[in-house]
Amino acid sequence: MKVTMNDSRLININQIKAFLKGSQKLVLSLKGHAIDEKYNFINKTINRLGYKYLRKKDKRWVIKFIKKITGYKQAQIYRLITRAKLGKLKKKDYKRKNPNRKYSSHDIKLLEQTDELHLKLNIFSTKEILRREVELFGNDKFKNISKVSPSHINNLRKHLVYKDHWINQTKPKIVSIGTTCEPENNGIPGSIRIDTVHQRDIYYINLIDEITQWELVIAVKAISEVFLMPALKYIIDQCPFVVFNFHSDRGSEFINKKVAELLDKLLIDQTKSRSRHTNDNALVESKNGSVIRKNMGYAYLSKQVVDSLNEWLKNYFNIYINYHRPCLFQTKTKIYKNGRQKAVYGQTTTPYEKLKEIAKKEKDNFLKPKNNFQKLDKIAYQCSDNEFAKLMREKERILFNSLEKFNKKFDLRQKNQS
């Protein structure tokens, strides 16, 4: 049933009020009608009631009336009334910016198939493949899409037709080597953290125990399994305690099958740092700067000097940092009212003294069978801290002087050869 509404007799605000009050339960709307009819109704209502000259409170009744009949929201009615007062309330003709769609769904599918076969190359390579399909191989179905500009390829890749079947995105590969978790120390020495530090042509492997801060450093010529595997075996063997956990960042030098096999043979668990948890490997990262960079500097070191450097590291440097160089140890965690935590470092001692302290508390023999504290005491107390530091610095000076001479000879050889 079609109902025709004639509102021409509503000529003043009082009649509008009476109509709205009497038609609260009556549904009268032009919602399903064409825009032209709605605009025509608004124009006639504004002109008939003299909207321009009405008081503000009377205008509200007119707006309520228009809202009830047209179904428009109030903000839209305000905009339409403004246009009606200027005599410009007419339906605008829609003009498509690009009336002729150049690339059809069929063309986009051809682009999608090309990306699927070539694993989504860059836009210039993709454009070249489309061109070759037509010009070199005579494949006419690519004739239209081959004319696409490289920049427009990215637009077509966002099209729903393209995304409907296949999207080539970077897919994270789950590496089964190591467990992604915070390293567990169980309150005893043996949970080590490891990292690498480069110095031009050579690399240092820095190993540190989480509980005692026992630290061992060794130099290698390159980060490859030829040099890395023997160095790891040696450095783990040099730890006086039994190692049960090996923690590193997610770098490929330690997260690989060779290292995993070695640790599996030694019955050592392997863990790796978690995403967005920078503190997981913070201890060794801080030691890279405060120990290695501070003592070794940034000078160029050739691969040829690794053997003599490792001899000094073994006989002097590693003994110095573990037996004669005190470190700060956390004693408690201070918690503020806002929930912020602050570590309190209330103890200063050497890693060896910390190792003995834990051994007394735990009453557990976590040392390797070949080691005992009587043997380690001879190394720790044969010299005072200053005496051993002086001896180490003298040997360091001799070593680096010889390295400088070697570097100069090496540079001369290269110049003569060139």
Task: Examine the pLDDT at 97 and tell me if it is beyond 70.
Answer: no
pTM, whole model, 2 decimals?
A: 0.59
- In this structure, the strands spanning 327-329 and 347-349 are antiparallel
For the chain, the average pLDDT equals 85
**DSSP codes, 95-137:** --SS-S--S-HHHHHHHHHHHHHHTS--HHHHHHHHHHHHHTT
* Encoded amino acid at 219, one letter: A
**DSSP 8-state secondary structure symbol assigned to residue 94:** P
Instruction: Identify which of 186, 210, 215 has the alpha carbon closest to the alpha carbon of residue 364.
Output: 186
Rg (CA), the chain: 40
DSSP-derived secondary structure for 231-260: HHHHHHHT-SB---EEEE-S-TTTSSHHHH
Share of the chain above pLDDT 70, in %: 88
Q: Of 57, 74, 55, 58, nearest to 66 (Cα)?
A: 74
Give the C-alpha distances (Å, rounded to integers) separating 58 from 39, 44, 51, 64, 104.
21, 17, 9, 10, 54
Q: For 244-300, what is each residue's pLDDT tens digit?
A: 999 999 888 999 999 999 999 999 999 999 888 888 888 899 999 999 999 988 888
Distance CA 223, CA 196 (A): 9
The number of beta carbons lying within 10 Å of the beta carbon of residue 190 is 20
Write out pLDDT tens, residues 322-347: 999 999 998 888 888 888 888 898 88
Provide the greatest CA pair distance for the chain: 116
Selection from 237, 220, 392 nearest residue 317 by Cα: 392
- The residue length of the chain stands at 418
For 179-405, CATH gives 3.30.420.10
pLDDT of residue 303: 85
Q: Cite the residue boundaries of each domain of the chain with CATH code 3.30.420.10.
A: 179-405
| pLDDT score at 351 | 93
Q: How many CA atoms lie within 13 A of 320 on its CB side?
A: 21
Phi-psi bin for 404: left (phi > 0), alpha (psi -120 to 50), beta? alpha
